Structure 1
Amino acid sequence: MAPLPLPNLVSFTKTWHNEPYPLISPTRPELSAHGKNVVITGGSHGIGRAIGVAFAQANAKSVAIIGRSRERLETAATAIRTANPLTTVLLQVADTTQRESITKALNSIVDQAGKIDIFAANAGILPVYGPVMGYPEEELLRSLMINTVGAFNSIQAFLPLAAPGAK
């Protein structure tokens, strides 16, 4: 069994996977994203980067990643291009907690790639772990802004730009 992701976590999961297993492999024809434009917030590292790589492997027409750090976005873009050189990779620096910022980023992506077929509102943080007693209010507010307001802003900005049948 692989090490648990968090210290002191009791896990009932028998097997931990770090790579897609055959049943969910993005290279399976029935899971193809051929011709689709994909946008991922929080696409510069972690789960977002893995989503981008998987959609490139699934032959997406384009994968656009949005994040706050250009350097991290460029590193992720390289990984996505390596997964499939035929997939167009776009990147936008934006802050999902700022409605104008995410709206501008999504409009730029649509101008370059066309309507959005698949949208992953993935931007988020894992808040600092600690007891409620003495927990800093500013840390709670930061996590609420990024994890809740950021997702809300992202989805509101995405909806008018969605292709028919978008997911």
Structure 2
Amino acid sequence: MNIVITGASQGIGYATAIELAQKGNNTIFCIARNGHNLEKLQNEVAKINPASTVIPVVYDLTKLCQGTEDIGSIIRKHIDKVDILINNAGLLYV
């Protein structure tokens, strides 16, 4: 399956990516601002289940409406459909 997870660099998003990677042959697009943690996740998944693939996408979702490259365009470069979308990213205003 093709899966997209936002907020995947830590916490629930990270754990969800690990869980889904263990469950078969999945392509998981992990979106977050923290590229280092996404790379760590990618390496961890490769060890757990080489049949699943994590594609790290370093992207700040707060930029969606600011004219930068659309996240959908980035994903469509790799796949033609998304089977599961997990919107997990959060934003805190203090």
Interval of TM-score (by shorter of Structure 1 and Structure 2): 0.7 to 0.9
2:21 equivalent in structure 1: 56
Matches for 1:123-134 after TM superposition, within 5 Å: 123-124=89-90
**Identity across matched positions, percent:** 32
Structure 2: distance between partners of 1:75 and 1:121: 20
Show CA shifts across 1:63-105 (max 9, x none): 1100001111101111222221111220111111221578623
Show CA shifts across 1:27-78 (max 9, x none): xxxxxxxxx1001001111111111111111114301100001111101111
- RMSD of aligned residue pairs (Cα, Å): 2.1
2:78 equivalent in structure 1: 112
Structure 1: distance between partners of 2:54 and 2:79: 10
Question: Which structure shows the bigger proportion of residues in helix conformation?
Answer: 1
Whether 1:47 aligns to 2:12 is yes
Structure 1: distance between partners of 2:16 and 2:6: 10
Structure 2: distance between partners of 1:85 and 1:68: 24
In structure 2, runs of 5+ residues without a counterpart are none
Going from structure 1 to structure 2, the CA distance change for 1:106 and 1:77 (only over 3 Å counts) comes to farther
1:89 equivalent in structure 2: 54
Task: Give the letter aligned to residue 47 of structure 1.
Answer: I
Matches for 1:93-104 after TM superposition, within 5 Å: 93-100=58-65, 104=70
- Normalised to the residue count of structure 2, the TM-score between the two structures is 0.83
- Normalised to the residue count of structure 1, the TM-score between the two structures is 0.50
Whether 1:73 aligns to 2:38 is yes
Question: Which structure shows the bigger proportion of residues in strand conformation?
Answer: 2
Task: Give the letter aligned to residue 92 of structure 1.
Answer: V
